Structure 1
Amino acid sequence: MTSTAATGTATTTATAARVVDAVKVYGRGDTRVRALDGVSVGFPAGRFTAIMGPSGSGKSTLMHCAAGLDTLTSGSALIGDTDLSTLDDRGLTLLRRERVGFVFQTFNLIPTLTVAENITLPMDLAGAARDDEWYDALIDVVGLRDRLHHRPGELSGGQQQRVAVARAFAGSPDVVFADEPTGNLDSRSGEEVLRLLSGTVRRTNRTVVMVTHDPVAAAHADEVVFLADGRLVDRMTDPTAERVLDRLKAFDTRTTSGSLSPEPRS
């Protein structure tokens, strides 16, 4: 399989987001933790990528740094061709508002606003004009047309996460980052949200990068990126829950034996 990881500072128009030689260190001295250890990986535009790994592998750190929510100790993080390290705080805020969408485990909806108002809130705060054609199509994709005037407290957990997904896509971002988006949902609602994310990628040619610990969730992605001990150790295209689980078990075995060299890629 050909890797989409970028090298150097070359332009990669088919990559929505990427990190190059990414290192992230927390703490000092005895408390020093190297959360990312020289990771280079690209997330293809128009694709759904899942990031997996055991607890402490660096998967959430990778997502936060790639999305501009955290800064790298060294290396580069890029959205499209924009190197995030070249932006000041205001520039980062504008980039996250205009080019990046977020879906979190907690829905982060404003309880006093309606569904429609929650969806358009980022654009309203930015003073951006709404693309009515895109908004109308998005409402149909997420299946919320009969809930637009309801408030979050009148919705189920799955419906609230659908609102969060719609809000993330509403501004037509270059990439949507989802951090354990089904973590607070039952299995049925979680499945609906995962189908929504994958379906939105395919119907609208948008890009989603999702952190998850669940092989069933990862199976909805086009590709899975595996981390262990802050390093990229493998990638899998066309994943199934069974293959992902087998790969994770293999990493556990190799971690115990002290070897983390990747298996043959598929």
Structure 2
Amino acid sequence: MTTTTALPAAAARVVDAVKVYGAGDTEVRALDGVSVAFPAGRFTAIMGPSGSGKSTLMHCAAGLDTLTSGSALIGDTDLSALDDRGLTLLRRERIGFVFQAFNLLPTLTVAENITLPLDLAGIAPEQARLDALIDAVGLRDRLHHRPSELSGGQQQRVAVARAFAGAPDVVFADEPTGNLDSRSGEEVLRLLGDTVRGTGRTVVMVTHDPVAAAHADEVVFLADGRLVDRMQAPTAERVLDRMKSLDGPHDSLAGRRALT
């Protein structure tokens, strides 16, 4: 039976996204007509073989890179309509980032690193929400430490707290557990998932790890710059099986399944 339940709004999306690097014999089509929405209040993972376009998709969706053609939107804001200053303000006020390299400022304390986006924007933190965030990442007793005094897992938890400190519309995470051991990585992934489900925020994560992807609500699969599948309620085993199948011929999802 068909239902008419409304789909959640998209926190971020790309429409007919094409990204081409180089020209002539050196041309590389990193994205080849991708249309995909990342629902608000959900944790979405992007996966695909090396060179599939997953990092390019994230960078273009987040306004860190520009599309050759097509559109990238945060909410209803078309990124192509913004100048450099507008993009900078949007990334500061509406987007959070977590990278494989923690990108903490070594001269700042944990507390100062967490509130850095707010300080740059000239916004006073909402103390109750900031306290809840600090407790969620388990860093209450490390607030006056500097990054060099923390483990890798603790540094990434600082980066996660910083990404969420400004209550952004969406947090983009690029291989956030790539520099962590399995235990620390598990803690960071659980933290991302708990924050999404506890606050209604949105996370879009690029990963190559099926175990990491299994923490997401949904996995988007790319191959050869095209969207080839989406998987709800993923498990590590199902994701691994789908990734193995991407070693063969690829068929675009467009045309065989309606996109959200």
TM-score bracket, shorter-length normalisation: over 0.9
Match of 2:180 in 1: 185
Equivalent position to 2:87, from 83, 89, 92:
92
Picking from 67, 75, 93, the partner of 1:72 is 67
| TM-score using structure 1 length | 0.91
1:37 to 23, 32, 38: 32
The answer on 1:123 being equivalent to 2:114 is: no
Q: TM-score, normalised by structure 2?
A: 0.94
Give the alignment of 1:45-194 within 5 angstroms: 45-194=40-189
Deviations 1:141-198 (A, max 9, x none): 1111111111111100000000000000000000000000000001111011000100
2:244 equivalent in structure 1 = 249
CA–CA separation in structure 2 for the residues paired with 1:156 and 1:122: 22
SS at structure 1 position matched to 2:80: helix
**Separation in 2 of the partners of 1:96 and 1:261?**
30
1:91-130, Cα deviation, whole Å (9 max, x unpaired): 0000000000000000000111100000001111121121
Q: For 1:129, what is the secondary structure of its paired residue?
A: coil
Distance 1:239 1:96 in 2: 29
Map 1:1-40 → 2, pairs under 5 A:
14-40=9-35
Percent identity of paired positions between Structure 1 and Structure 2: 86
CA shift digits 1:210-247 (9 cap, x unpaired): 00000000000000000000000000000000000001
Corresponding residue for 1:260?
251
Gaps of 5+ in 2: none
1:215 pairs with 2:210: yes
Task: Write out the 4+ residue segments of structure 1 that deviate beyond 4 Å after TM superposition.
Answer: none
1:5 is matched with: none
Q: 1:239 aligned to 2:234? A: yes
Deviation, structure 1 residue 261: 5.2
Question: Could you tell me which amino acid in structure 1 is paired with residue 108 of structure 2?
Answer: L
Over 3 Å counting, the alpha-carbon distance change for 1:35 and 1:261 in structure 2 is: closer
Equivalent residue pairs, number: 250
What is the one-letter code of the residue matched to 1:164?
A
CA drift at 1:260: 2.6
Contact 2:17–2:33 under 8 Å retained in 1: yes
Partner residue in 2 for 1:6 = none
RMSD of aligned C-alpha atoms?
Answer: 1.4
